[in-house]
Amino acid sequence: SLQRNSKEWILPPNVPKEHFDQLPYTPGVYYFHDKKGKVVYVGKATNIRYRVNSHFSNNSESRQKQNFMQHVHAISFQSCGTELMACILESAEIKKRWPIFNSSQKRWEDVYGIFLYEDQNGYQRLAIDKNRKRLNPLYTFHYLVDGHAIIRKLIKDFQLCPRLCFMQKDDGECEGLEEGNCKGACQQKETPAKYNKRVQKAAASLLSQPSFVIVDKGINGSDQSCILVEEGKFYGMGYLPVGFEVTNSSALKETLTIYKENSFIRNLVNSYAARFPEKVILLTETN
């Protein structure tokens, strides 16, 4: 009889034992498939085998768990060099495949954007609004609070008026005048031409983000992982031979896999780059 801790016992009834036996002890992404081969769940792991094991080793008899177990007929995986790459791949795959048993990140959309328009008085204004088709935002994000933080930084860095950026909506004295950022545009004491020059610089700063790569350990010892960010936006990732000279993005693009970016991935990559600057190589030429 099967032991309670045997691999067959913890696996869903429809999954062949060899599917579990092939799972590596490495970072990566794993996939659960239904009987037609369709992916029904995607997960990331620092250790693929341990993580897959954990899905089936707790003895939950809940209806939800039983339903999940009955749906899984096959397990596959994709190894990654680092945990960061696994996180990126998981997000991209959930967005691409929309698995029925994944709930997190499904609704992670770049709901909001920062838009530039000119008002009836000729002043250019930066505004946060919901993303809509056929509109072209300068920058997109998921949480409204992130957009507010970006706008407030632009107000300070480029001496913009908080009223004209919709950060102050009361009838009181302009906070920008009190703090020395606003030069009177909200009271038409500064001409649109002068004010708009600074707005244009602020808008350009959102579009002219740095290009860089994150180089880290690879999979087999003879390669290294590479994540490319082009002008602030995640482009793709892959593996390079050890010693490959990273100088510009055009050479890199031939070896990397392109993935669709979202703000979740962008935040992951930028946070990692800030925490581990020694793994970052800035690029000066991006075409």
64 or 235, greater pLDDT: 235
- H or E segment and range at residue 197: helix 192-207
Answer yes or no: is 116 within a domain: yes
pLDDT in tens, 48-86: 999 998 887 765 555 566 677 888 999 999 999 999 999
pLDDT at 109 over 80: no
DSSP letters, 129-157, are EE--TT---SEEES-HHHHHHHHHHHHHH
More confidently predicted of 254 and 68 = 254
At which of 207, 233, 249 does a domain end?
Answer: 207
Cβ neighbours of residue 98 under 8 Å, at least 6 residues apart?
106
Are residues 85 and 11 both part of a single domain?
A: yes
Domain shared by 193 and 217, yes or no: no
- Tell me, yes or no, whether 59 lies in a domain: yes
**Residue 107 belongs to some domain of the structure:** no
Task: Name, in order, each residue with C-beta under 8 angstroms of 178's C-beta and a sequence gap of 6 or more.
Answer: none
Residue ranges making up the domain that contains 18: 7-97
What integer pLDDT is reported at residue 7 of this predicted model? 47
Total domains present in the chain = 3
Please name every residue paired with 281 in a beta bridge, in sequence order, or none if there are none.
213
pLDDT of residue 1 exceeding 60, the answer is no
